[in-house]
Amino acid sequence: VKTITGLQPGTSYQFKVRGYADDDGETVYGAFSEPYTVETAQPIPVVMLSTSKVTKTTTTLQWTAIPEADGYLIYGSRCGTDVKRLKTIQNGDATMWTKQNLDTGRYYKYYVAAYRLVNGKKVIQTTSPMIHVATTGSSYTNPKGITVSASSITMKKGTTQALKAAVQLPMGKKVNPHCGEIRYKSSDKTIAKITANGEIKGVNPGKCTIYVYTQNGLYKTVTVTVL
């Protein structure tokens, strides 16, 4: 059995094998097999969730559309409590929903899951990272932006590189430190991984995307090419 690494997702490859033997110190090869064609799996799509508007009693959630999704499941709760399903959206083109009747000046957490219908059943395609959002009316606030030190990085397999990021806040405001101010996500960990401190490691040749995001889901992307 031979495992071949470093292949590109969603790409067709053709392989042939042949046997060999040692004949008095000389390697003798047999004929090649018939070619075998295989296609690598498509990468798991990434859905990112953020907020487009927050008031004292409402939060409008917005997410990136997932191709071929039949709908979305939205989960959430007050921070410190178990999440539950808040809404089932039976529309694969939908990218926004507003949660109402929230408490003023409180932190809530949310995530969204994209699903497809398979034989009448909902099958989850991908799930967003959890975001944390404060309704207005408290001493804490939500980030208004994020900056990163690079939009693209090229690195060699096995090497590491630090990515620096900073959160933009309204003047005189701060975020609640109950979850990280900045978090990271790799679209393909078989190509590049990233630590909670923003250190990228090249795993295998290829290209992927690093998402750098705030508590409330505002994000920047960094294209990583591993040689």
pLDDT of residue 143: 93
* Bridging pattern class, strands 71-78 and 107-118: antiparallel
How many helices (H) and strands (E) the chain has is answered by 0, 21
Dihedral class, residue 181 (left if φ above 0, else alpha if ψ from -120 to 50, else beta): alpha
Per DSSP, helices labelled H in the chain are none
Contact between residue 29 and residue 16 where contact means Cβ atoms under 8 Å apart? no
pLDDT of residue 42: 66
pLDDT of residue 72: 97
Ranges 4-8, 22-26, 79-83: which has the least confidence: 4-8
pLDDT of residue 174: 86
Residue type, position 116, single letter: R
Ranges 13-22, 37-46, 121-130, 144-153: which has the least confidence: 37-46
State the pTM of this model: 0.81
Length of the chain: 227
Residue 72: half-sphere exposure toward Cβ, Cα within 13 Å: 24
Determine the Cα–Cα distance for residues 62 and 35; give it in Å rounded to an integer: 47
Tell whether the model's pLDDT for residue 158 goes beyond 70: yes
pLDDT of residue 104: 96
Instruction: Determine the average pLDDT of the residues in 131-157.
Output: 93
Which residue in 14, 16, 61, 3 sits closest to 38, CA to CA?
14
* Bridging pattern class, strands 152-155 and 219-226: parallel
pLDDT of residue 154: 97
* Bridging pattern class, strands 107-118 and 131-134: antiparallel
Mean confidence (pLDDT) of the chain: 92
Ranges 10-14, 102-106, 196-200: which has the least confidence: 10-14
Contact between residue 95 and residue 56 where contact means Cβ atoms under 8 Å apart? no
At residue 11 the predicted structure's pLDDT band, cuts being 50, 70 and 90, is confident
